[in-house]
Structure 1
Amino acid sequence: MRYFALLCLLVCCMVAYASESGQSRAEMAGRSLIGQPAPRVVVKTIDGQTIDLGALYGKKAVYLKFWATWCVPCREQMPHFERSYEQAGPDMAVIAIDVGFDDSVEEVRKAQKQLGLGMPIVFDDGSLGEAFHLRVTPQHVVIGRDGRILYVGHEANDKLDAALAQARSRSSAQMASAAAPKDEPHYDVGDRVPAFNVQTLSGASLPAFGAKAGKPTVLLFLSPWCESYIATSRPALAQSCRAARERADVLARDNHAQWLGIASGLWASREVLADYQREHHIAMPLALDDSGALFRRFRVMHVPTVIVLDEQGKVLRRSEDVDAALPSQQSAVTVR
């Protein structure tokens, strides 16, 4: 009985910690957005409906919820979100934004049916997450009728409800000029990437390519929670993440290329990534892409993803399979 009570207490503490961490991460990410004009973007729902967010500003408040089908608190909060949609009325638009990260439209449709979701659902390509500083799931964004961002948070609580009520009452008489989202460059196979450095967990600033004469750079895009958090809900994906990490770590020791692990900033921190590195004895340098800039630059929406750059920064290969992306001399290396 005492063991059971301690176990329950531990679980409750873990849930409380995750909730607090999520709320603080969302608020910190959204701090620079509060009071700013919301981005003017046009989105398309999974049902083919086009929604011009900019056209809504000045007419309606807007409530966006960023979520993912693999996200447990997202599903737990869905009754609150569906209720908000049903009670929105003519002065508020409620839109679900699947973050698109390690998700699919097929999975979204399944969740839509299972959870009985009636609101419009958008499948993001990363651009909305970029515009609204996505760091956690779920992440709530509330935009007032004046077109300014009023609230960014993680929990479905009184603060969110108060923001939704306030958003409706915001006067549209002095509507903010809707901001255009940043147009960042993106790189695919065959493109040449401008030189940039990567800040690793050790504090070193490493060039993303060209550090080893005549040798390519292999960027392994990963998530430190992929192997554990979704081991039950997405076992194949968790296994893929584990296999990629194990294979990459072996190949990184053979000095045929410069290896860099780039971790997503979604639900991760330097501490979490450092624990992941220690737990698995990962030898290659790891860096946290806290803002998601590198994931966006290479349009990475799934982990693991491998990007191979030559000495001059040309993108040679891209794959979700480590061996398929590697130069021939490395892919021939066997695990010993």
Structure 2
Amino acid sequence: MFIKMFLRFFIVLSITIGSINGALGSNIPNKLLNIPITLTTGEVVTLNDFKEKQPVYLKFWATWCQPCMQQMPHFQKIHEKYGKEIQVIAINLAVNDQLKDVLKVSKKFNLTMPMSLDKSGDLAQNFHLLGTPYHLLFDRQINLVHVTNDSDKALTNKIELLTKNQPLKHLNEQSLYSSEIKPIDFNTSTQAILFTATWCDWYFAQTRAEMATQCINAQNLLNLLAKQRPNLKISGQLSRLWTDDKAMKKYGQRFNIKHPLFIDKSNQYFHQLAIKNLPTLVLIKNGKIIKKITDFENANTILNEISTLR
């Protein structure tokens, strides 16, 4: 009986260990170990490149993110103090940001750490980004040991411990695991989907006024379109960043929205359709994207264009 129980335990344990990543010493999936991180220099690195060599500190950020900007001086000091012992990489979301925007911030704060722009959105999607700033720490074996939105004493202390090769508690590997998501089938229906965010109109107003105006114009346009084309399938997909059902309800009330509204909680719609600008109106016909609209200054022009959709 004991032998049978031991064998069952051993089989389960072997399967569990093998399913984690097949390589002892890291608690994150192989997919994340080997996901390419393209730096602004053109160099491509992976977390696996630093395994057994250096701990890694990844920070996701955006130029329009106010806390991100507030944290930049501390971020640079961390790199200056510990950069030889820990690999620091700044990953810009590339959402409403281009290389010129990143370089401008880099110059303003004299940033010297390696930079990356997540143009495909693969990094944010796979590392389960829910809001910026977003910090992830990995030890020398690339075990995930810290995840936070705060640049605080706890983060600094763990970075210092990592540079001294001190062991830290590993986070549950499931925090960076996700089930495989099947591609969305848009079937044959003609539809218009507005990709935006519950904070798009008021948060951008503090950092990028022109973006806030675009967000307001886009939602007003969709409301008008829903009245003019009641037979057209219209919906709004909200970014999951800093958003919950309560925020969605307030957004719907603020704009008096009557069309269906959803939070893209898995980020599947945003990722599959490569949405990198807020807001973006996507027109789909016969299951294929026929146009992406990101400029909502002239509503009449857009409405005339959409009027041809059947």
Pair in the same fold by TM > 0.5 = yes
Whether the 8 Å contact between 1:262 and 1:287 is mirrored in structure 2 is: yes
1:37 is aligned with what amino acid? I
Report the counterpart of residue 297 of structure 1 in structure 2. Answer: 272
**Higher Cα Rg: structure 1 or 2?**
2
Report the counterpart of residue 145 of structure 1 in structure 2. Answer: 140
**In 2, Cα distance between equivalents of 1:300 and 1:128:** 14
Report the counterpart of residue 330 of structure 1 in structure 2. Answer: 307
SS of residue in 1 equivalent to 2:205: coil
Matched, 1:87 2:81: yes
Report the counterpart of residue 200 of structure 2 in structure 1. Answer: 226
**In 2, Cα distance between equivalents of 1:98 and 1:128:** 10
Report the counterpart of residue 43 of structure 2 in structure 1. Answer: 49
- Unaligned stretches of 5+ in structure 1? 1-34, 172-178, 187-192, 196-208
Whether the 8 Å contact between 1:139 and 1:153 is mirrored in structure 2 is: yes
TM-fit CA distance, 1:328: 4.3
TM-fit CA distance, 1:140: 0.3
Report the counterpart of residue 237 of structure 1 in structure 2. Answer: 211
**Among 36, 56, 76, the residue aligned to 1:62:** 56
SS of residue in 1 equivalent to 2:113: coil
- Unaligned stretches of 5+ in structure 2? 1-25, 168-175
Report the counterpart of residue 118 of structure 1 in structure 2. Answer: 112
2:307 is aligned with what amino acid? Q
For normalisation by structure 2, the TM-score amounts to 0.78
**In 1, Cα distance between equivalents of 2:224 and 2:157:** 52
TM-fit CA distance, 1:75: 0.9
Q: Using a 3 Å threshold, how does the CA distance of structure 1 residues 194 and 319 change in structure 2: closer, same or farther?
A: same
**In 1, Cα distance between equivalents of 2:266 and 2:71:** 25
Aligned length: 269
Report the counterpart of residue 314 of structure 1 in structure 2. Answer: 288
Matched, 1:277 2:259: no
**In 1, Cα distance between equivalents of 2:64 and 2:45:** 25
Whether the 8 Å contact between 1:260 and 1:284 is mirrored in structure 2 is: yes
Q: Using a 3 Å threshold, how does the CA distance of structure 1 residues 180 and 227 change in structure 2: closer, same or farther?
A: closer
Whether the 8 Å contact between 1:224 and 1:276 is mirrored in structure 2 is: yes
Deviations 1:69-100 (A, max 9, x none): 00111111112111110111433101111111
TM-fit CA distance, 1:48: 2.7
Whether the 8 Å contact between 1:317 and 1:325 is mirrored in structure 2 is: no
Report the counterpart of residue 160 of structure 2 in structure 1. Answer: 165
Q: Using a 3 Å threshold, how does the CA distance of structure 1 residues 297 and 60 change in structure 2: closer, same or farther?
A: same
Deviations 1:39-67 (A, max 9, x none): 12222222333333321122110001111
Whether the 8 Å contact between 1:307 and 1:325 is mirrored in structure 2 is: no
Q: Using a 3 Å threshold, how does the CA distance of structure 1 residues 165 and 295 change in structure 2: closer, same or farther?
A: same
RMSD, matched Cα: 2.9
Matched, 1:37 2:14: no
**In 1, Cα distance between equivalents of 2:113 and 2:79:** 6
Whether the 8 Å contact between 1:185 and 1:297 is mirrored in structure 2 is: no
